[in-house]
Amino acid sequence: MLMISTFFVLGVVFGSFFHVIGQRVPVNESFLVGRSICRHCERTLNWYELIPVASFVLLRRKCGHCHHPISWTYPIIELLTGCLFAFSYQHIGFNLELLSALLLVSLLIIVLVSDLQYMLIPNSILFYFLLLFIFLQMQITHISIWNNILGGITGFAIIAVIILLSQGGMGGGDMKLFGLLGFILGIKKVLFALFLSSIIGAIIGTGYLLLAKIELKEPIPFSPFIVIGTMISFYYGDMFLNWYGSFLR
């Protein structure tokens, strides 16, 4: 229980950092230098205004200077990252595959923030995570690299075909992201992740249309559905695929 709590706290702290990366990288701002500021009044924030989750509660969701409302995405992202870090440790244990899970969570959280705020998935983020996963893959010698390479090609190619057929129904960022996810997950799991993401996106998108929350051709960020589909596939993909395969025998 102590280790699970530790990973939860680490996730909350890293989630706050990932939020900064997702906000700054798409607009070419450095996330390594410069203090955080209020996006409304541009005042530099004090240390006690930067405590993950706690500051949001203590400040009653308002900037301490201009009293402009603070977005709910801050505590949601921090708590989501904490939960995913803790679950990853509980599900996998302490080994190299846990590092792979934490890197995947980190990638998806940064992409989620960026896509929600700018509807953009930066190439630089995908490139740096690709290098990290290639290095990690070299350390996990019992897994074939060819499954990763073919998975990357498959994920990239399928989204490319969807873009061509739908004339822009998905973006180039989604295509490159699924290429990276295919490298991480392998062929079967990336196909399962794409299937789940599409189903979840269709259900939620239809719900928004019925509730008149969006217009018919209004673009919506696809990353929240990708996060859900990918995490389910990563943790439970083998179980679902084996269950499905048992019906085909």
Q: How many CB atoms lie within 10 A of CB 22?
A: 26
Structure-derived torsion over alpha carbons of residues 31, 7, 191, 170, reported in degrees to the nearest 10: -30
Instruction: Give tens-digit pLDDT for 121-152.
Output: 999 999 999 999 988 887 775 566 888 899 99
Cα(249)–Cα(237) distance, integer angstroms: 19
Angle subtended by helix axes 123-139 and 172-185, to nearest 10: 10
* Residue 43 pLDDT level (bands cut at 50, 70, 90): confident
Average pLDDT over residues 224-247: 87
Q: Domain coordinates of the chain in residue numbers?
A: 1-120, 144-249
pTM greater than 0.85: yes
First vs last C-alpha separation in the chain: 41
Residue bearing tokens 């943790």: 235
Residue 95 pLDDT greater than 70, yes or no:
yes
Q: How many helices (H) and strands (E) does the chain have?
A: 9, 0
Q: Residue 12 contacts by C-beta under 8 Å, 6 or more apart in sequence?
A: 52, 53, 78, 79, 81, 82
pLDDT of residue 213: 60
